[in-house]
Amino acid sequence: MQLTLATDDTGGPEIFASPQGEGPSAGIACSFIRLSRCNLACQWCDTAYTWRFDGDERPHRAGVSYDRKANQLALSPLEAARMIDRFEPRRLVVTGGEPLLQAPALAELAALLPEHAIEVETNGTVEPHPRFDAYVEQYNVSPKLSHSGNPATLALLPPRMRQWASEPRAFFKFVIAEPADVDEVLFLQRAYAISPDKVFLMPEGTDSATLRSRLEWLAPLAAGHGFKVSDRLHIHLFGDTRGT
């Protein structure tokens, strides 16, 4: 069994150490593994190199497609575990793409890293796999709103939303581009009885100026509804780059 990973700027597997930039663990030193492939297509996705390969006509605002061979590679769970174990942080963030598409191989990886706390970033459309789920400490669930370009019939599946809302390890992180997006969050939060203190609102953007501008109006909106705000710390530190 193998894992399909994204590549970094050198063409090697995108496995790295960096502060977590988003959500409830922001600022914590972590190791990361970025997997390739996604079942959704967000038009503002900042990791389109994990899914928008040549021939993929799903829309993206940059209009760029990527060569699959140059941006995707396979590693065994053992090879990946050895690379991850070289880094000091013993908190592993599994991200993508949509990592839960590869949950059986991730279960093998997790079994090889017993000292690591595992945090998963997911779009919330894939049911947790029992074997891998047993190793997960935290889920960062990021349901995609209408401005992502994904139809709700693909991105907001009621059985999955109910499941994540009742999962005590799950936090919700919504990407916000304009104030009207918060109304969608409120609808989902009420429809699925998501506790407000589990909700993070994060500005969409891949540069510091855009993030700061949006945070000016987003922070008071979030506070007014009892939600939390997430910045994108890695963007401020490193820019929109791979391996960060």
Quote the CA–CA distance of 170 and 198 in Å, as a whole number: 8
Residues 6 or more apart whose CB falls under 8 angstroms from that of 108 comprise 1, 77
CATH code for the domain of 44: 3.20.20.70
Consecutive H or E run containing 235:
helix 233-238
Say if residue 12 is preceded by a cis peptide, omega within 30 of 0.
Answer: no
Reported as a pLDDT band with limits 50, 70 and 90, residue 240 is: very high
Residues 6 or more apart whose CB falls under 8 angstroms from that of 204 comprise 44, 147, 175, 176, 177, 210, 214
In a domain, 67, yes or no: yes
Reported as a pLDDT band with limits 50, 70 and 90, residue 92 is: very high
Please give the average per-residue pLDDT across 185-208, as a whole number: 98
In a domain, 47, yes or no: yes
| pLDDT confidence of residue 219 | 98
Consecutive H or E run containing 206:
none
> Which 3 state secondary structure label does DSSP give 208?
helix
pTM (predicted TM-score): 0.97
Place of tokens 């990973």: 5
Among 35-44, 56-65, 140-149, 200-209, the minimum mean pLDDT is found in 56-65
Quote the CA–CA distance of 36 and 4 in Å, as a whole number: 6
Q: What one-letter code names the amino acid at 235?
A: I
| pLDDT confidence of residue 63 | 92
> Which 3 state secondary structure label does DSSP give 34?
strand
Residue 53 main-chain phi, psi, to 5 deg = -85, 165
Residue 33 main-chain phi, psi, to 5 deg = -130, 125
Q: What are the Cα distances from residue 133, in Å, to 72, 119, 140, 178, 216? A: 25, 11, 13, 34, 37
In a domain, 177, yes or no: yes
Structural domain total, the chain: 1
In a domain, 104, yes or no: yes
| pLDDT confidence of residue 163 | 98
Please give the average per-residue pLDDT across 12-24, as a whole number: 98
Please give the average per-residue pLDDT across 153-170, as a whole number: 98
| pLDDT confidence of residue 34 | 99
Please give the average per-residue pLDDT across 99-126, as a whole number: 98
| pLDDT confidence of residue 42 | 98
Helices marked H in 42-155: 68-71, 77-84, 103-111, 130-133, 152-155
Reported as a pLDDT band with limits 50, 70 and 90, residue 36 is: very high
For residue 20, the enclosing domain spans: 3-238
**209-237 pLDDT, tens per residue?**
999 999 999 999 999 999 999 999 999 99
| pLDDT confidence of residue 76 | 98
| pLDDT confidence of residue 115 | 97
Question: How much of the chain exceeds pLDDT 90, in percent?
Answer: 100
| pLDDT confidence of residue 82 | 98
DSSP β-ladder status, 199-203 and 228-229: parallel
Reported as a pLDDT band with limits 50, 70 and 90, residue 100 is: very high
